[in-house]
Amino acid sequence: MTAVKAQQHGGILEVVLDRPKANAIDAATSRDLGEVFETFRDDDSARVAILTGEGARFFSAGWDLNAAAEGEAYEADYGVGGFGGFVELPELDKPVIAAVNGLAVGGGFEIAMSADLVVAADHAEFFLPETGLGIVPDAGALRLPRLLPTVIANEVLYAQRRIDAGEALRWGIVNAVVSGTQVMDAARQLAQRVVSAAPLAVGAVKQIDRTTRHLSLDEAYAELRSGDMELYEQMLVSDDAAEGPKAFAERRDPIWKSR
């Protein structure tokens, strides 16, 4: 039985991680996720992806420590998108929604942090146990200090502090908290709102963020005006850029053509 299940409904790709009992990810599973998200990136019919875990207890327990105990290296080949399939996937300019259905532990939390949008079950918890295991949460050490106040991020990283769903919402780590049975419905509603927007515009926004986040504001504006952002340049002269204002003036829904 495959540990990664993917099914597309219209423009929404739903990806389910199914590795009982904790949806932990070994290198082979990560490579499978990478193949799924690489296909998603390159498929024009897929507009947004939702990633969730099977069951109600774990979104993902992160790195499979049983595989590690059996000799899988900490720096194994995790595939084209890095650990979790999309965290380091080059040129991914489509949104990924994490539907966190339970515990997001270690690499599972890092995957949720890497998503563009996050919906969490009210019983979900987020934490990074790595330093207590003698290892480092690579993506967590990079991302968490950008998401949380320094002292809170440090407590999570150094002292394995747990963040429950309500606190995650207050800190802005998640977009919404819903009952466990409503997680996928809420994620699908959010995904549909993305699908209703212009594809080139959504892609351009993500490309702008991905390309300029590390820059100062002046540097970011210079990059934006450089002509080097392909999706942004396509959007500026697209049929869709003309269709949006026209549809608004005519009081009708726009018809996007992705060109």
pLDDT (average), residues 99-118: 97
Percent of the chain's residues with pLDDT above 90: 88
- Assign domain 4-195 to a CATH class: alpha beta
pLDDT for 101 beyond 70: yes
Active-site annotation, residues: 110, 130
Tell me: the pLDDT tens digits for 118-173? Answer: 999 999 999 999 999 898 999 999 999 999 999 999 999 999 999 999 999 999 99
- DSSP labels, 175-217: SEEE-GGGHHHHHHHHHHHHHTS-HHHHHHHHHHHHHHTTS-H
Kindly indicate the confidence band of residue 258, based on its pLDDT and cuts at 50, 70 and 90: confident
Percent of the chain's residues with pLDDT above 70: 100
pLDDT for 71 beyond 80: no
Kindly indicate the confidence band of residue 73, based on its pLDDT and cuts at 50, 70 and 90: confident
Domain boundaries, the chain: 4-195, 199-249
Nearest-angstrom CA–CA distance, 258 and 17 = 30
The pLDDT value recorded for residue 153 is 96
Kindly indicate the confidence band of residue 16, based on its pLDDT and cuts at 50, 70 and 90: very high
Nearest to 12 by CA among 96, 133, 68, 103: 96
Pick the residue with more confidence: 258 or 93?
A: 93
The pLDDT value recorded for residue 67 is 78
E-assigned strand segments in the chain: 4-9, 12-17, 48-53, 58-60, 96-100, 103-105, 117-121, 125-127, 163-164, 176-178
Kindly indicate the confidence band of residue 1, based on its pLDDT and cuts at 50, 70 and 90: low
Pick the residue with more confidence: 217 or 70?
A: 217
